[in-house]
Structures are given as structure tokens and as C-alpha cells.
Amino acid sequence: MARVYSVFARPLIQGDKRLAQVTEDVCRPMERRPGPWWWAAFTASSALLLLGMSAITYQIATGVGTWGLNTTVGWAFDITNFVFWIGIGHAGTLISAILYLFRQRWRTSVNRSAEAMTLFAVMCAGLFPVIHMGRPWLAYWIFPYPNTRGSLWINFRSPLAWDAFAISTYFIISALFWYVGLIPDLATIRDRGKPGFRQRLAALFSLGWDGSYRTWNRYEMAYLLLAGLATPLVVSVHTIVSWDFAVAVIPGWHATIFPPYFVAGAIFSGLAMVLTLMIIARKTMGLEDYITVRHIERLCKLIIATGGMVGLAYLTEFFMAQYSGNRYEQFVFLNRAMGPFAWAYWTMVSCNVLAPQLLWFRKIRTNLAVVFLLSLLINVGMWFERFVIIVTSLHRDYLPSSWAGYSPTVIEVATLLGSFGLFFTMFLLFCRVLPVIAMGEVKGVLSYGRKHGEGHP
């Protein structure tokens, strides 16, 4: 059915593309040989990955004593990294599932890569709790099943166990959702008739896609249902991550606002990572007509919205600590702002609350260099947010004689760097082997905002 657009509607995709051109533009970068920049990036990130793998091997062989933890600060770098990475993943699901349910058609240019980012971020996140267990070879004990270990069951009341369920379900559904969305594009690669290994694989995984009306109809239904499933899942994941802290009675951890606050923060950090990746990818892969400055602007507006929610949560926590009259709560928040970790706290506030305010200005939103810089700052700020929540709440507890400090060891830093290596290595490989833009979906929005008869979509 013909759609009617307002006078403000402008095409989502620039350059008056034809359908065939879309396929050509998206497939070209992955069909040509990788350039020197790709090799440089790949070398750097796989070197980091290698570093991380060595560090992980060493700490598993030696034990978690290689970390800087002590009896007071029992959680620090590992859990910070876990929450950071799981949060990064959330923006992918926001773009691919939630914006789909909201009928935001501009999402088609970024949803594929954002969702790939989700999968890689969840992989990085999963790494940390497994190492944190101390005996990762027994990690399967987290799954409840009748067993011969004296019938040893997990503690079902522990959010740590819920984490395992939520994250594994989330990963499975995200992977399925991503794969279902890929099927029409895999069929396109198959049909491009460039014989080789890629085409044979695409033929296998496109599941005999024939592009008929009925196939599309079923595909759309499956896609909608998976989007509907992924939406509550993504909220549940970071909600449960927040419960890891909030169910405790530790001042600074126990706050009822944690669930929505963590979900907003997760999406906020993930959107920043999407911007970091997209600003580079559109340039190096020549996709400026698809991921336009207006796409970047919209992502920036989402950052203002989610960043605003995070800022409000900071304020609420601080206010409520004073209002509650609970001296321990009051101490924790003053200690955050003025104690030994004040530098981390103020890094967090400047990067997460102050810096994003620049995005209110269109001049800044359309200046990609500045947006790129801001996206990096937000990533840093959101990492520090988790560090502040975890470490500052623990390091000075009820008993001043047990107060302690914390600083990460080389091994911990190397593990964090290794997780970045894993993330970027996966993303670089993804850019080489799969279409980074959902061709089938972009073709559906080509006509948006174009006057009738203009262009030939």
C-alpha cells in the first residue's frame, strides 16, 4: 500500500540508489581484498587478543591470587569488565529489536552491525564470570541438572545463577535473531554468482530461500516474534546484572532504582560503542550514503535520552542517600565524591553526565570527529561507572579496621585489553565475511521520503 509522507520526510538513504546498487555497495567491501588499514587494525587487535589469552592462561594456571583483590575488595576488575561488556551489547538489541517494534525505519542501516556487536560483546562479557569462578573447568556446575555430586544444586535464590540463565538465553535469542535477519542477505550473496567458498556457505545457510511472497511473509512473522522475545530479554539481562549488587545490603549497592538505571546505562554505553564502530566503518567501507550523518544524529539523540536517565539516577541515588538519614549510605556517597577514588567518580561524572550535554547542539552532532571523541569518552565513563559502583562500595565497609584499597595487577589489565582484542578481532572478521548492512531491509526503505517517480527504487 502506498504510504503518505509529510513534507519533512527526507530519504533515509542518500544518493538515489537503485536496488542493484545497494547489493553492489554492501557486497563490494567484503568481496575485494582487505586494505592496509584493515590489516593494521586486525594485527593490532589480534595481538591484544593474544596478550589476553596469555594472561588468562597464566591466571587460570596460577589462580585468582594473580589479581589485586583482597578480603575487603572481593569484586573489582573482573566484574567491572563483565558489566561493561554486557552493557555494550544492549544497544544492539535496542536498535535491532526495540526500534523495530517502534517502526523506526532508519534502524535498517545500522541494525546488522549493531547486533553483531551485541554478540561479540556478550562473548567478551561471558569470559569474566567464568574466569572469576576460579575453577573454570567446573563452570558447567552453574546449570541445574540432577547430578552425582551428592545431588548438589545451585542456589536458585542467587542472582548470580539467574545471570547465567538470562545471559545464555539472551545470547541464544540474539544469535537466532541475527541469523534470521541474515537469511535473505545470504541468499543474495548466493545468487550473485561469484563461485567460491563464500557462495557455497551462503547457499547452505540461506536455507533454500526462494524470495517468494510466502517466504517473505513467514520471515517477517518470525522476525517480529523474535524481536518481541528479544525485547524483554534484553531488559531482563541488565536488570539481573543490577540485582547482583542490589539484593545485597551493602550501602551503595542496595538501591531499588538499580534495575531501570542499569538498563538505561547499558543502552547508553552500547550506543556510544555503536557510534565508535559506525563512524569508522562508514568511512573505511565507503558506506556514507547508508549510514548518513542523520543516522549519527539520531544515535546521538538516543544518547542524550539514555544519558539523561543515567544522570537522573545518579542524582536520585545521591539525594536519597541524604534523605534516607542512613549514615552508611551517606558515607558511601560522600566517600565516592571525596574519598580515595574521587578521581574515578569525577571521571565518571564528567564523561557520562557532562560530556554528552554537548550533543544537544546540532553543530556538534554533525561534526563526526567530535562525536567520535565523545563516544570514546562515554565508553570510558561507563567503564568507570561500574568500577565506582563496585569498588567504592566495598573498599570502606562498616568496620574501619578492615578498610582497604585496590589497584589492578598487570594480569588484570592484560585481560581487559585482551577482551577488547577479542571484540575488535571478531568485528573485523565480521566486516570481511558478512554484509554489514541488512540489504534486504535497506531495499525496503529506499523509497521512503522520495517523491513518486524520482529515482528508480
Partner 1 sequence: MNQELHFTPSPRTRLLLRLLAGVGVLSLLAGAALAPERAWGSLFMASYALVCLGLSGTFFIALTYACGASWAVALRRIPEAMSAVMPFGAVGVAAVLLFRPSLYPWTHEAAAHELSGFKAAWLNWPFFLARAAVYFAVWLLFTRLIVRTSRAQDRDGDPAHTFRNTKLSVAFLPLFAVTFSMASVDWIMSLEPEWYSTIFGVYTFSGLFSSGLAVIILLAIWMRRTGPLRDFVTEEHLHDLGKLLFAFATFWMYIWFSQYMLIWYANMTEETVHFIARQRSFWLPLLVLNVILNWGIPFLALLPKFTKRTPSTLAKVAAVVIAGRWLDLYMMVQPTVTAGAITFPWIELGVMAGAGALVVVVFLRAFRQAPETPVRDPYLTESLHYHN
Interface residue list for partner 1 (CB under 8 A): 1, 3-9, 101, 103, 232, 235, 239, 243, 246-249, 254-260, 308-309, 312-313, 315-317, 319-320, 322-326, 330
In the block, which residue shows the cell 541468499? 187
Phi, psi of 330 (to 5 degrees): -60, -45
Taking the least distance from each CB to partner 1, the nearer of 39 and 360 is: 360
CB of 329 vs partner 1, minimal distance in Å: 9
Taking the least distance from each CB to partner 1, the nearer of 57 and 322 is: 322
Cβ distance 410 to 66 under 8 Å? no
Chain centre to alpha carbon of residue 423: 10
Taking the least distance from each CB to partner 1, the nearer of 75 and 243 is: 243
Give the CA radius of gyration of the chain.
23
CB of 94 vs partner 1, minimal distance in Å: 14
Alpha-carbon separation of residue 8 from 4, 72, 124, 301, 450 (angstroms)? 11, 58, 42, 18, 11
Cβ distance 165 to 241 under 8 Å? no
Residue 10: how many other CB atoms lie within 10 Å:
12
Alpha-carbon separation of residue 281 from 38, 178, 261, 285, 421 (angstroms)? 10, 19, 30, 6, 17
- Per DSSP, 5 falls in state -
CB of 448 vs partner 1, minimal distance in Å: 12
Taking the least distance from each CB to partner 1, the nearer of 249 and 369 is: 249
Chain centre to alpha carbon of residue 199: 30
In the block, which residue shows the cell 554528552? 356
Phi, psi of 108 (to 5 degrees): -60, -25
CB of 247 vs partner 1, minimal distance in Å: 4
CB of 239 vs partner 1, minimal distance in Å: 7
Taking the least distance from each CB to partner 1, the nearer of 152 and 249 is: 249
The contacts of residue 184 (CB under 8 Å, 6+ apart) are 206, 209, 211, 216, 219, 439, 440
In the block, which residue shows the cell 588468562? 56
CB of 212 vs partner 1, minimal distance in Å: 23
Taking the least distance from each CB to partner 1, the nearer of 259 and 440 is: 259
CB of 371 vs partner 1, minimal distance in Å: 19
CB of 450 vs partner 1, minimal distance in Å: 15
Taking the least distance from each CB to partner 1, the nearer of 5 and 143 is: 5
Alpha-carbon separation of residue 20 from 188, 220, 255 (angstroms)? 11, 22, 54
In 3D, which of 324, 453, 414 has the Cα closest to residue 78? 414
